[in-house]
Structure 1
Amino acid sequence: MAQRNMADVLMKAAREKAGRPPASSKEKEKEKEKKEKERKEENCITADGASENGAAKSELVTVDNFEAELLKNKMDFDPNKAAFWKKGEQVPFIFLARALDLISNTTKRLAITEIICNVFRTVIATTPEDLLAVVYLAANKIAPAHEGVELGIGDAAIIKTLAEAYGRKEDQIKSQLKAMGDLGLVAKASRSTQRLMFKPPPLTCVKVLETFRVIAKEAGNQSMDKKRGRMKGLLVAATDCEPLYVVRLLQSKLRIGLQEATVMVALAQAAVLSEQPRVPASKLPERLELAAQTMKSVYSILPVFDKIVPILLSEGIEKLSKLCTFTPGVPVGPMLAKPTKGVSEVLDKFQDLEFTCEYKYDGERAQIHYLEDGTVEIYSRNAERNTVKFPDIVAAVSRYKKPEVSSFVLDCEVVAYDPEKEKILPFQVLSTRARKGVILSDIKVKVCIFAFDLLYINGRNLLNEQLIVRREELYTSFTEVKGEFLFATATNTREVDEMQKFLDAAINDCCEGLIVKTLKTDATYEPAKRSNNWLKLKKDYMDSVGDSLDLVPVGGYLGRGKRTGVYGAFLLACYDEDSETYQSICKIGTGFSEVVLEERSASLRQHVLEKPPPYYRYGETLGVDVWFEPVEVWEVKAADLSISPVHKAANGLVDPVKGISLRFPRLLRLREDKTPEQATSAAQVAELYRAQKITHTARDGDSDED
């Protein structure tokens, strides 16, 4: 306001000095219109990339009207009509920010895919060298997950930076945050009320990504001051809706329902649609589907956009599988098992196949990479770098391999272990180990590695080998060390009684149950897939619900009585991979100790939303008091599943109108090794419902008896 008043005073003084009277309201209006016209002309080029003066009859594309182009379907879309910058110029960040705004206004997965695909096609047609930066920002990443690059920015730092960038007080920012529930919206509102004496250069996608990466690398003395300085530079230069997405990207929370899987599909489709000559319309659907499958497969083996995007641009989608292959040091997506309800079901599914049964250990999935130079890296099931968490494994792993082994990638389970009693300890004991800054001499919880698969050995990729071959390589390449490194206990029996005894033995040895795997046929390693060729049989399968479910808390109910001050119950949801939505499945209020309830309430209180996002599906009568961002995964056990007119889980998969809900759910534990997108899927919920051997007719109806 002070800046604007000063500008008016200076303008008035200039007019008086020139002998002109103060500007009338009409003159002010004309001057305003002139400036607006100039602003549009600055941000304007013709659809064919020429300047406006060079092609007066061409259709004009501006920062204010290109969204209509992005909303067109793939057959009608022309990337040259969506670009408002010249070919070869860096892609403006406002282009991506406006596209993200379009996505935030729809819940339809196909529409979201179409928009982001059109974004990629426009970049490929104008500035292909910027595609990598645009893909990273659209995927809400700054680097591959396994590199462990983190911005290290908390809300407090963002609040302070917003105050500095926009000339406001921190208390004002906090007050507005409480009202809006979103720092991104606060940033956008703050920027819209600010006037600048000097306009910084417009932000580009490359500039934003590069700045984020520099922020992530800042360390040492005054590193936070440096981080805030770089954030401030972005926010001061940001205009329109850019501040909203700068802040959300800093928080790693886009909140618009755009998932990484959609980005991959859109990128594959953009590559096909950008090919010259174009694919015939009759063959296009099949080609697009094949491209999407190729991209997902490649990304599950090599989740590094820095390697995928350049090859995609230079060689095309068809050569991607040959040129982007399994690379030691880069984790592949772990193969997962499907649940079954009993030994007889396993035998029915594998009746014509040879299979093996292994103990299912109650620990933490780990992928250990041993490189040619002796470097050791350890990754979690969701590709997080856990090397610093297990310095004891890093120090000892070379002792387990035989001398002739120079490199390997091992799939295993890390389990808390008591070496004196030679006994496996519960997962809860393992979870007490620190995650960062672990010092070898301070470790109190010992661990044992139980190895069950070998994915790579001495330069040889084993993913396409049958399990019997991979297992033989495992047994001949490593040596067991008591209490430190053991092969997963296994048997190849097909007898019902022997399998039941083996299951009982696994439970007695503090394991969760069994994993049953095909051995010689259809027994390749399938990265990032929940395969029919691996079946899990857990001890809880003797209950009516075969498997526990991994669910996401999306809402809370204010506690009363003894639970005043914490949440008394929570609304949980499964994740639908097809629509990329979270679908409510139950309310839960049991299975919490006072300590756990306080911890979960305190954690989720930091992620409260003003209103439910458009990608939440739930019954309007649930009466949720508070909504949360999808940030945690809880393992839950229930009595059974039933059809529900209120909850939306697996809606349409079992019943054409109603969803599925859990009866009498109880909390088992927090799943820190899973992201919300890795929660139990809607399709899995439907499978569990169908697998129940009880009749649901008498139990159908709303099931919130929790």
Structure 2
Amino acid sequence: MFVAKALDAISKESGRIAITAIVCNMLRTVMETTPEDLVAVVYLLANRIAPAHEGLELGIGDASIIKALSEACGTKEAQIKKQYKELGDLGLVAKASRSSQSLMRKPEALIVVKVFDTFRLIAKESGKDSQEKKKNHIKALLVAATDCEPQYLIRLLQAKLRIGLAEQTLLAALGHAAVYADKQSSTPANIDSSLEEAAKIVKQVYSVIPVYDKIIPALLADGVWDLPKTCSFSPGVPVGPMLAKPTKGVSEILDKFQDIEFTCEYKYDGERAQIHYMEDGTVEIYSRNAERNTGKYPDVVDAISRFKRPSVTSFVLDCEIVAFDREKKKILPFQVLSTRARKNVVLSEIKVGVCIYAFDILYINGQPLLQAQLDSRRQHLYESFEEEPGFFQFATAVTSNDLEEIQKFLEAAVDASCEGLIIKTLKKDATYEPSKRSNNWLKLKNDYMDSTGDSLDLVPIAAFHGRGKRTGVYGAFLLACYDVNNEEFQSICKIGTGFSEAVLEERSASLRSKVIPKPKSYYRYSDTINPDVWFEPIEVWEVKAADLTISPVHRAATGIVDSDKGISLRFPRLLRVREDKNPEDASSADMVADIYRAQKHNQSNRDDDEQ
């Protein structure tokens, strides 16, 4: 009940400061009274049951939840479905159904650890009758749930908590709570704000080791100030990858990196991968959002030890896995790579060969390298591995600050079937920053030169029925970016042109099964937009546009660039579906604002040049 009441209190707030305070007070209470429950409480607040890389999922659909709910409440399934259609939130249906039912005897109160352990139990059920067993676990929880508990139990089970609590806010609150709870040690001398510093430490440590089971015991035992020492990066746990900011031209790069030595690397069009090689010879491969991709690339697992030098006993590589035609010795497009099955790939049945393009090393022989400068990390990389053309190569790189030379290097990258360049600081401000879109890495794609700069990853949240030739498919889609701070999808454009008939049919067929009765409470859009259908936020589309513009209709980045207007895309076109991304990995409102500002900056520079 304590957790459910806190979730309810958070859902009624919209300001980040107020939400942080509620979560902080809640975590302080747990630390003070039942510290052994803290891991379970934090996981539930994060709406997770395990770290992302463990791949442990509840594996239950709405049908099982509806069945459990109808049995727990003694209501017909058809009635539950009808209410779900009306309310659009199964959590609210559960709350209404449970509170209207009188119970013969009062069930035992739900406790946090029991709920969390039951969730893990549900996730681990497999084989014959597993869905029946999962349903019975859910039913048992619902029978014992009172007040607002059913609402949040259901939302947690659907992994759709959506109360405006972003994980970064949870981490900040955990840092704040640790400061208040730590009565022994004093704040280090050189710190202005102990709360801000503690929040920063917890966020930083989580980006390096995103495992609450490790962070929280260390936090409780030794406090927040020693956390970076007690929780360090190790193989087997993926760190959030460092990301690059978009830039629009070689001259902009020279402006930004005026007095700093930098290097340019080819930007490969494949799948970002973090390859972990453990002391015992075990290999794990993780995607950019920490999913375990080992089963997708058995050929990489099989070959990787061939490329390391004998002195190397453990490592973590940051690289791009790219589809490669070994006969023609050339890189193939991302679309070819995406034809591979996503898991349980059989080595003998692989039709699409891949090449590993390594560009960074984060750990070598027991030594983390995140704090080393790039030139030092590169040296470790080059000394620890040997290239094998078509199988394992270092990213092609050049160190230069000559405008013409970089321009030629960009053209060479494009000729070699790459997307463009990544430009990185080399010796100064050149540490590896996990999970950050850093100013010290810039990306320059060939098609940035004459349009918006970066392509955007957007989520289709609604559609309009096709007319004329397009009857029977959707004629246009409403796309949204993701606002991390408010945990909401904000409309950014309608897209309806540039689709081939086959692609339109394919996307329409895929999204038909994602239709929901009404828009989610966390969708932001104008009342003047009236789509024919709304979707669950499931797919991520990479989209290119001519430019970005301030819009009175769309809600992307409202309040960042203009106090009450959003940003929209002009002439958007679909490039591809990003199956390697979750909806929450879509382009953020902050990134949309950054691209808009960069565009304005470049426009004014061009105007100055022309005068």
User: What's the TM-score bracket when you normalise by the shorter of the two chains?
Assistant: over 0.9
**1:482 to 2:403 alignment:** no
Could you say what secondary structure the match of 1:330 adopts? Answer: coil
TM-score of the superposed pair, with normalisation by structure 2: 0.93
Q: Does 1:180 align with 2:111?
A: no
Q: Secondary structure at the match of 1:140?
A: coil
Alignment pair present for 1:583 and 2:468: no
Decide which of 321, 344, 351 is 1:437's aligned counterpart: 344
Q: Deviations over 1:98-150 (max 9, x none)?
A: 22122222332222222222221221222111111110001000000111111
Among candidates 163, 171, 192, match of residue 70 of structure 2? 163
- How big is each residue's C-alpha offset from its partner over 1:247-282, in whole Å with a ceiling of 9 and x where there is no partner? 2212111122222122111111121233327989xx
Q: Which residue of 1 aligns with 2:603?
A: 694
Partner amino acid for 1:106? Answer: E
| Aligned pair partner of 2:218 in 311, 336, 355 | 311
Larger relative contact order (CA 8 Å, sep ≥ 6): 2
Larger mean CA deviation between 536-545 and 606-615 belongs to 606-615
User: Which of 469, 472, 482 matches 2:379?
Assistant: 472
Alignment of 1:297 with 2:204, yes or no, is yes
1:272 to 167, 170, 179: 179
Query: 2:481 pairs with 543, 556, 574, which one?
Result: 574
- TM-superposed CA distance for 1:533, in Å, is 1.0
SS in 2 for 1:384: coil
1:421, distance to aligned residue in structure 2 (A) = 0.9
Are residue 231 (structure 1) and residue 152 (structure 2) matched? no
Q: Distance in 1 between matches of 2:73 and 2:488?
A: 35
Secondary structure in 2 matching 1:368: strand
SS in 2 for 1:118: helix
Indicate yes or no: 2:237 matched with 1:330: yes
Report the 3-state secondary structure (helix = DSSP H, G, I; strand = E; otherwise coil) of the residue aligned with 2:567: strand
- Cα shift at 1:285: 8.2
> Which residue does 1:100 correspond to in 2?
7
Which whole-Å CA distance do the structure 1 matches of 2:374 and 2:351 have between them? Answer: 35
* AA of the residue aligned to 1:694: Q
Is 1:219 aligned with 2:143?
no
Worse-matched range after superposition: 442-451 or 174-183: 174-183
**Which residue does the alignment assign to 1:448?**
355
Match of 2:250 among 343, 349, 358: 343
Match of 1:140 among 47, 64, 78: 47
Match of 2:311 in 1: 404
The one-letter amino acid paired with 2:195 is L
2:555 corresponds to 1:660: no
- Looking at structure 1, the residues matched to 277 and 129 of structure 2 have their Cα atoms a distance apart, in angstroms, of 36
SS in 2 for 1:317: coil
Alpha-carbon distance, 1:528 to partner: 0.8
Aligned residue number for residue 20 of structure 1: none
Give 1:611 shift. 4.7
Q: How does 1:180-259 map to 2 (within 5 A)?
A: 180-259=87-166
Taking a change above 3 Å as real, the CA distance of residues 160 and 406 of structure 1, as seen in their structure-2 partners, is same
- 1: CA distance between counterparts of 2:276 and 2:540? 27
Query: Quick one: structure 1 residues 427 and 294, their matched pair in 2 at CA, closer, same or farther if it must change by over 3 Å?
Result: same
SS in 2 for 1:694: helix
Corresponding position: 1:123 with 2:30: yes
After TM superposition, give the deviation of residue 675 of structure 1 in Å. Answer: 2.7
In structure 1, what is the Cα distance between the partners aligned to 2:5 and 2:48? Answer: 18
After TM superposition, give the deviation of residue 486 of structure 1 in Å.
0.9
Structure 1 partner of 2:259: 352
* 1:113 corresponds to: 20
- Matched letter for residue 549 of structure 1: L
Unpaired runs of 5+ residues, structure 2, are none
The answer (yes or no) to whether the contact 2:315–2:362 under 8 Å persists in 1 is yes
The equivalent residue for 2:556 is 649
Q: Indicate how the Cα distance of structure 1 residues 323 and 163 shifts in structure 2: closer, same or farther if over 3 A, else same.
A: same
Task: Supply the distance in 1 between the matched residues of 2:472 and 2:14 (Cα, whole angstroms).
Answer: 34
* Secondary structure, counterpart of 1:252 in structure 2: coil
Contact 1:106 1:614 in 2 (8 A): no
Structure 1 stretches of 5 or more lacking a match?
A: 1-93, 699-706
Q: Give CA-to-partner distance per residue, 1:566-605, whole Å, 9 cap, x none.
A: 4332222223334444332212123433444344445445
Q: Alignment identity in percent?
A: 69
Q: CA deviation at 1:644?
A: 1.6
Tell me how far 1:467 sits from its aligned partner.
0.9
2:164–2:486 Cα contact (<8 Å) kept: no
Match of 1:8 in 2: none
Q: Is the 8 A contact 1:451 1:486 kept in 2?
A: yes
Opposite residue 407 of structure 2, the aligned amino acid is: Q
User: How far, CA to CA, are the matches of 1:602 and 1:115 in structure 2?
Assistant: 43
Residue 414 of structure 2 contacts residue 446 of structure 2 at CA under 8 Å; is this kept in 1?
yes
